Amino acid sequence: MNMYYNYLLHDRQNLYSLLLRSGRLFQQYLVDAYICIEESRLEYIRQNQKTFRTKFLQGLNDAIQRGDTNGRDIRKRMILPSSFTGGPRYMYKHYQDALAICRVHGNPQYFITFTCNAKWPEIEKYVCQFPSLNAQDRLDIIARVFQLKVISLVKFLRTHKPFGEVAAELYTIEFQKRGLPHCHLLLWLTSQYKIRYVEQLDSFISTEIPNPVTEPTLHKVVTDFMIYGPCGLLNPNASCMKSGCCSKKFPKEYCAATMFDKNGYAHYKRRSVGYVFNKNNVDIDNGYVGPYNRVLPLHFHAHINVEYYGWNMMIKYLFKYISKGADRIRYSIGKTPNTSMDEPSTSAPQMDEISNFVDSRFICPPEASWKILNFPIHHRNPPVQALAVDLQDMQNVTYRDDDRVESVLQNPVSKKTTLTEWLRNNRQDPSGRHLRYVDYLSEYRWDAGDKFWLKRTSTKTPAIGRLIYIHPSCGETFFLRLLLSHQKCCQSSRDIRTVNGQLAATFRDA
């Protein structure tokens, strides 16, 4: 099991040749190597919880009144920050970014699933050098090729415009446990290319087998990559069969024309009369064809499923689906300790987000290979920037263990946030007073180093602003966030609480 460790210690020059001879051993090596890398990163985060702390300014003032003058005296629970790729906070941050894009550009029009094809010429050309291996034995090569294909797909959508002019895109890379990586991509189009009539959808999405005589190339690509199954009555023993039915609901019902149901789901034209081809000695018709665009499979020779979501109301579910993160399961094995009623109860255990993430995590070889190569698992364009929402003297402050709290409070830069500087900028620069706080990035950009707003010289691709999430139980901060979504020309906290010329006592009253 640990054979390659012995080679690494005693005969490093033969390690690579050993891994090439055994595909299963190489996959195990990838997983173990990534676990070591991830454990090192998590250990750094764990060890530096005490080095960098974050506390509200008001909390620091309270700490001084209690006599706590050192940073190490002010505690917080152990967290896994959003900067850790793949963590719960990381994925939730990107879910909020997707909602911010949706606020500006509306519902995404297309949901595209792009699956890696192990028979791409780039992969086969490399693997053929090692006759004892197949493509899935070299997941590092698959990861490199698929990363280039994903970049090429995004560029193709923007330059060749098979659906129209692209306004924004967002994608997440996911990994099958025993299969290949795939990409979930959301596509926003400019207003002139949005679907306004049902009939327009037939020009972009098809669910029928092409004519093998007039379109032989497209017919071969669709029958090779876009056919599901067979399953159902044609193959009751298929892996997708659950309780006698296909879990993916194939074969699909026939539909004479494209239509939308009451929830906005598209039912594509799938006629019962069409072309049939034989697969595994079974005749396959249009009921087993996945929705596809006629241009994309021809160009990329891969399974590219295309769904229309422009009229769908389940947008939050869609964003959560592509931001759900890695598969995980949590469980605990133990016994209840025998404690008497007279024994004092122990305090509740500290919340440890790092242990919760690690102990319930599943890592597969494709994911390990992808992350060892440091490829991104998330991409969005245009960029999204989070905007602070904080009450007066309640800004987040970062400081070290050995910092004196008085020096932190006396540092004017520590109190600056995007919100405080928005108010100050409105007092000094009247040209941006017509903008809401959440829209300020359309004409200004935030200098994170010196913490001030700068006028944009170009507004061709401005960033999108989003207010940080505030739970309703947070009281005044939650109502401040609501007001910031509407108020303009604010130069102070009083202006935010002023509605129709009347100053309210609290943000809740306003």
Residue 219 contacts residue 211 (beta carbons within 8 Å): yes
pTM of the full predicted structure? 0.83
**Total number of residues shown for the chain:** 510
C-alpha 493/C-alpha 504 separation (Å) is 11
**Other Cβ atoms closer than 10 A to 502:** 9
What residue spans define the domains of the chain?
88-322, 384-503
Residue 390 contacts residue 417 (beta carbons within 8 Å): yes
Sorted by sequence, the CB contacts under 8 Å of residue 272 that are 6+ apart come out as 254, 285, 286
Residue 419: phi and psi, rounded to 5, are -75, -50
Q: Could you give the C-alpha distances from 468 to 42, 96, 99, 284, 357, in angstroms and in order?
A: 25, 8, 12, 50, 23
From first to last of its 510 residues, the chain has per-residue pLDDT tens of 344 445 444 444 555 565 555 666 777 778 888 888 898 999 888 887 765 556 555 555 566 556 666 655 555 567 788 888 888 888 888 888 999 999 999 989 999 999 999 999 999 998 888 777 788 788 888 999 999 999 999 999 999 999 999 999 999 999 876 678 999 999 999 999 999 899 999 999 999 999 999 999 999 999 999 988 777 777 787 778 887 788 788 888 899 999 998 888 889 999 988 898 888 788 888 988 999 999 999 999 999 999 998 877 677 778 887 777 766 666 666 665 554 444 444 444 457 788 888 877 778 888 888 999 999 999 999 999 999 998 887 777 766 666 777 776 677 777 788 999 999 999 999 999 999 999 999 999 999 888 889 998 876 778 899 998 888 888 899 999 999 999 999 999 999 999 999 999 999 999
Q: Could you give the C-alpha distances from 90 to 261, 311, 459, in angstroms and in order?
A: 35, 29, 28
Segments of 228-374 assigned E as strands: 241-242, 245-246, 259-260, 266-267, 277-279, 282-284, 304-308
| Angle subtended at Cα 340 by Cα 335 and Cα 341, rounded to the nearest 5 degrees | 125
